[in-house]
Every structure is written in structure tokens, then in C-alpha cells.
A and B are shown apart, each in its own frame.
Chain A
Amino acid sequence: QSALTQPASVSGSPGQSITISCTGTSSDVGGYNYVSWYQQHPGKAPKLMIYDVSKRPSGVSNRFSGSKSGNTASLTISGLQAEDEADYYCSSYTSSSTFCVFGGGTKLTVL
């Protein structure tokens, strides 16, 4: 069982917005602003999409945004595109282990 809880799947139509949640505890998501999000296409390496809750690395589309409320972080993708179909993982610093923990991953399907 993963330390952070994500929905197994979400879906949306092109042009719509979707949100993926990531729920932890006060020892990780809720206690620190060190949540990151990764996109992984099938057979590919993960790619950093969001770090420090809401910061976007250079080159990542501004259709991707992150936020946090209490023990739950969220990744929102607006203007959904076919290329966004992938697995998404959240990660957070944790005080109860070493370095970081991942969520179980969410499969995004673009209908």
C-alpha cells in the first residue's frame, strides 16, 4: 500500500479540465510544501511536471497546475489533449521515512 493515496483512474474529454488528488498525512503532504507530480507515458521514464506544490519546470505547459489544501494535494490539467493520456504520480517529502514517498499513480484517459 502506497503512502500517498491517489484515485486509480480519471478520465475527461479533449478540452475539458480534470483534477487528480493525492492524499497524505500531516507527516508528508500536509506538513510541507514539497509535493511534486510526475507524468509517465507507457514505456517511458517519468517526467517532472510540478514541484514544490505549484511550481512548473521550464518547458512544462501552463495547462498543468498544482495546489494543496490540508493533507490533500491536487494536479489540474486544463484544456485536456490526447497527449496528456498517461499515468500520473504524486510524491511528497515525508518526515517518517527517508527523503520521499510516492502515490500509487493515476491513469488518465482522454476520451
Chain B
Amino acid sequence: EVQLVQSGAEVKKPGESLKISCKGSGYSFTSYWIGWVRQMPGKGLEWMGIIYPGDSDTRYSPSFQGQVTISADKSISTAYLQWSSLKASDTAMYYCARRGSGSFSYYMDVWGKGTTVTVSS
């Protein structure tokens, strides 16, 4: 079964750092792009960025460039989303998702269950 398993909920204070993970299984992890999507409480989906674990090619949405870092460790089939200094406005649910196969696939066919990040003093 193809699945993405995300790390558990996090509660952090403003200014702290954080790295959440997304582990792929049931498919060739290095052959599919993995994207990250933010959903703030009661709000819609926002595209953050995407990484190709095969060579770590990474693209960021302009809104998130410089705000987060996306990385991957292909040896353990895991993608990451990290912050160096969290803000209260980073409180949200974060989903990882797999991009469909092929160079002209602009959809996400498999989603993780999400990681809740709460930033509060």
C-alpha cells in the first residue's frame, strides 16, 4: 500500500526551531516529488513547496521562500519541513503529499494525514 506517514503533533514556543517529517512507503520514494501544504485553522489549502528526493531539487512558493526549508533523506525515504524560528502565525496543519507520476503531473495523488503544529507562548 502506498502511504505517507507524518510525524506527530508538535507544541512549540515562538522562536523555537522545528522539523517535521513525512515517510513514504509502498513505492519508489526517489521517483516522485513530495510537496508540502499548509492549512491554517478554519482556512483553505496553501501550496508551500515541493522536493524531488532523487536529487533534492526543491521549489518554493514565493509566499514561503525563506520562511521554511524543505529537505529529504532518500536513504530513509523521508521528506522534511523545518523552521528555524517559529512564529504564532505558523500554527496550522501541515500536509505532505505525493505528486502524480510523469513530468506533466500537476496534482497530488497520495496525502499524509497531516501534522498539527501549535506555536504559543
List the interface of chain A (C-beta within 8 A of B): 2, 32, 34, 36, 38, 40, 44-48, 51-52, 57, 89, 91-93, 97-105
Contacts and interface: CB of A to CB of B under 8 A. Distances in A.
A47 B50 contact: no
Given A102-B44, A102-B45, A97 B61 contact: yes
Contact of B111 (A47, A102, A105): A47
A52 B50 CA distance: 19
B95 A45 contact: yes
Given A44-B113, A98-B47, A98-B60, 13 more contacts: A36-B106, A45-B113, A46-B45, A47-B111, A48-B108, A48-B111, A91-B107, A92-B106, A97-B62, A98-B61, A102-B45, A102-B47, A103-B44
12 contacts: A2-B44, A36-B107, A44-B113, A45-B95, A45-B112, A45-B114, A46-B97, A89-B45, A98-B62, A99-B35, A99-B59, A105-B44
Interface of B: 35, 37, 44-47, 49-50, 59-62, 95, 97, 100, 104-109, 111-114
Nearest to B4: A45
Given A45-B112, A89-B45, A105-B44, A34 B60 contact: no
Contacts, number: 69
Nearest to B109: A48
Nearest to A2: B44
Contact of A46 (B49, B62, B95, B105): B95
Given A45-B114, A47-B111, A100 B106 contact: yes
Given A45-B113, A105-B44, A105-B45, A98 B59 contact: yes
Contacts of A36: 106-108
A45 B35 CA distance: 14
A38 B49 contact: no
Given A34-B106, A45-B114, A48-B109, A98 B44 contact: no
Given A46-B95, A102-B45, A34 B62 contact: no
A91 B104 CA distance: 14
B62 A89 contact: no
Contacts of B61: 97-99
